Amino acid sequence: MNKAQFAVVGLGVMGQNLALNIANKGYSVAVYNRTDQRTIDFLNGPAQDKAIIGTYSYEGLAKVLETPRRILLLVKAGPAVDAVIDEIKPYLNPGDILIDGGNSYFEDTERRIKVLDDSGINYIGTGVSGGEEGALHGPSIMPGGDRVAWEAIKDIFMAAAAKAEDGEPCVDYMGPRGAGHYVKMVHNGIEYAIMQLIAEVYDLLRRGLNISAQELGDIFRQWNDGELSSYLVEITAEILKKTDPDTDQPILDVILDEAKQKGTGKWTSQNAFDLGAPTHAINAAVASRIISSMKAARVAASESITGPKPAFSGDVRQLIEAAKEALFASMILAYTQGFGLMRLASQEFDYDLDMRNIAKIWRAGCIIRADMLDDIMRAFERDKDLTNLMLDAYFKDIVVHRQGAIRHVITTAIGMGIPIYAMSATLGYFDSYRTARLPANLTQAQRDYFGAHTYRRLDKEGSFHTDWQS
Ligand code: 6PG
């Protein structure tokens, strides 16, 4: 019997679709799932007539695979990954490759690589983005770990990955150890930021200007035909136009306004704080999801804590145009912050990340794919050590010229009492970054006043303390 060339462990939707995707590219795939019934249903359903074989134990899985074995785990991030590794390990040999394709925390990946080191089993931690559809038709894939192991899985991943418009596959080796999962974490942080920026623009236009969901859907659709062209803007247009079959209302009007989160955005902010990276938009997006989840408290407060009424008396067309420009510029600033964080992480963790390649593989397949990523890729081609995207002439010009739109949109929302925190935070980042002298001199003086923490001076070297009360 011919041995299978690849394996997928974990037949959730992502696992099933990736197995199908890889089989469709001409590879034979063995699958395993903790509960047998799911494997049976998969084989009798979507996997029928494909080069996919079912296995019902790790021993059985190991037997049907050609060596070195290439096994992709798609199980829930966290302890389940450790459990699978422990259970499958006795059936593997040195040189075999385990690939974790879930949203694992990068430090867990680093730990697992260390633990497996003695066994000779190679471990790849890879980000896979694109949701169910992406998994089936081509995700963006961000693998990190042993480079030799990468070479051994490269052909399959290149075949399975999304292809950008220039035909380039959206997968590349990110770097050693946890680099792949780190990049995926930041991808998700940027995803949170962009989703929140879009949500705020939707809120301002829908609630503040009373534009119908249908009409707003048309507006987002038009935006998506221009420079804002991106997956998240595209699906927003579709969501806005969708009607709830039960009530005949826009579906958005019946969806509970509590945002859930699995943790990747929060991890991005936490790590940014650890490394000292300014990720204002991502932090604001995480905080916005948190306050959204306090629905009962918000409903109660809305009855007693008053604010301005969302009534708009200005030029509607002008505000819609400004919203488009503001969203474009603030999306650029969200990517700017994400790439800035990865730059610091690359130094801190010796990942040697190539920003150009990251932008390149985010151009298609992933949730944050957008036309502007092509320009981000080019910016890093012009200068691979670019410290901040805003320093690239092309992006500088965009943000400098659109900052007026951001200010107009934010002040309008603030005047109406409509929260616009992520966009304000994004502008705060922009204004802080371009300000030569921030009020941190006062912060330093206060620290020295109450804690004798000392401060540095502009006019001479050294560390100084003032006797403030004398
Ligand atoms: C992707 C998505 C995917 C998942 C998020 C959702 O790139 O395909 O990011 O990984 O949908 O993890 O995250 P939250 O549940 O935290 O919103």
**CA–CA gap between residue 79 and residue 381 (Å, rounded):** 40
Tell which of 117, 142, 177 closes a domain: 177
3-state secondary structure 346-409: HHHCCCCCCHHHHHHHCCCCCCCCECHHHHHHHHHHHCCCCCCHHHCHHHHHHHHHHHHHHHHH
Q: What is the pLDDT of residues 297-332, one digit of tens each?
A: 999 999 999 999 878 999 999 999 999 999 999 999
- The domain of 220 spans 184-432
Which of 228, 227, 233, 127 shows the shortest CA–CA distance to 183?
A: 127
Q: What is the pLDDT of residue 75?
A: 97
Q: What is the pLDDT of residue 236?
A: 99
> Tokens for 375?
């320009």
Total Cβ atoms within 10 A of residue 154: 15
Residue 1 has pLDDT above 80, yes or no: no
**CA–CA gap between residue 227 and residue 23 (Å, rounded):** 36
Q: What is the pLDDT of residue 311?
A: 87
Which of 259, 260, 304, 264 shows the shortest CA–CA distance to 103?
A: 264
∠ CA 418-256-290, rounded to 5°: 60
Q: How confident is the model at residue 2 (pLDDT cuts 50, 70, 90)?
A: confident
Q: What is the pLDDT of residue 80?
A: 97
Q: Average pLDDT, stretch 141-156?
A: 97
Same domain, 223 and 127: no
**Can you spell out the DSSP letters for 164-195?**
-TTS-BSB---BSTTHHHHHHHHHHHHHHHHH
Q: Average pLDDT, stretch 437-455?
A: 98
> Tokens 């380039």 label which residue?
168
- Which 3 state secondary structure label does DSSP give 206? helix
Same domain, 288 and 423: yes
Same domain, 376 and 240: yes
Mean pLDDT rounded to a whole number for the chain: 98
Pocket, ligand 1, Cβ cutoff 6 A: 103, 129-131, 188, 191, 260-262, 264-265, 366-367
- Residue 209 domain-assigned? yes
Distance 142 CA to ligand 1 centre (A): 14
Same domain, 169 and 196: no
User: In CATH, what number is assigned to the domain containing residue 57?
Assistant: 3.40.50.720
- Strands 122-129 and 97-100, how do they pair? parallel
**CA–CA gap between residue 354 and residue 346 (Å, rounded):** 9
- CB contact burial 57-84 (16+ within 10 A = b; e otherwise): ebeebbebbeebbbbbbbbebeeebeeb
- Using CA atoms, how far residue 454 sits from 318, 459, 470, in Å, is 50, 15, 16
**CA–CA gap between residue 212 and residue 214 (Å, rounded):** 5
DSSP structural state of residue 246: T
Which of 140, 327, 144, 297 shows the shortest CA–CA distance to 220?
A: 327
Q: What is the pLDDT of residues 162-183, one digit of tens each?
A: 999 999 999 999 999 999 999 9
Tell me which of 13, 140, 191 to substitute to probe ligand 1's pocket, judged by most ligand atoms within 8 Å of the beta carbon: 191
Which of 111, 71, 74, 113 shows the shortest CA–CA distance to 92?
A: 71
| Domains contained in the chain, number | 2
Same domain, 147 and 197: no
Q: What is the pLDDT of residues 256-268, one digit of tens each?
A: 999 999 999 999 9
Same domain, 20 and 131: yes
Q: Of all atoms in ligand 1, which is nearest to the CA of residue 184?
A: 7
> Tokens for 332?
């650029």
Same domain, 353 and 412: yes
Q: How confident is the model at residue 370 (pLDDT cuts 50, 70, 90)?
A: very high
Q: Which amino acid is at 107?
A: E
- Residue 445 domain-assigned? no
Q: Of all atoms in ligand 1, which is nearest to the CA of residue 134?
A: 8
Active site members: 184, 191
Q: How confident is the model at residue 356 (pLDDT cuts 50, 70, 90)?
A: very high
Query: Residue 301: is it exposed, middle or buried by C-beta count within 10 angstroms (0-12/13-18/19+)?
Result: exposed
Distance 56 CA to ligand 1 centre (A): 29
- Residue 75 domain-assigned? yes
Same domain, 190 and 282: yes
Distance 188 CA to ligand 1 centre (A): 6
Sheet holding 52-55, edge to edge: 52-55, 29-32, 6-9, 70-73, 97-100, 122-129, 140-145
- CB contact burial 213-235 (16+ within 10 A = b; e otherwise): bebbbebbbebbeebbebbbbbe
Q: How confident is the model at residue 109 (pLDDT cuts 50, 70, 90)?
A: very high
Q: Average pLDDT, stretch 14-32?
A: 98
**CA–CA gap between residue 247 and residue 212 (Å, rounded):** 16
User: In CATH, what number is assigned to the domain containing residue 269?
Assistant: 1.10.1040.10
Distance 249 CA to ligand 1 centre (A): 27
Q: Of all atoms in ligand 1, which is nearest to the CA of residue 191?
A: 9
Q: How far apart are the first and last CA of the chain?
A: 89
- Residue 444 domain-assigned? no
Residue 235 has pLDDT above 90, yes or no: yes
**CA–CA gap between residue 416 and residue 411 (Å, rounded):** 9
- Residue 459 domain-assigned? no
Query: What are the phi and psi torsion angles at 327 (to 5°)?
Result: -65, -40
- Residue 437 domain-assigned? no
Residue 355 has pLDDT above 90, yes or no: yes
Same domain, 37 and 66: yes
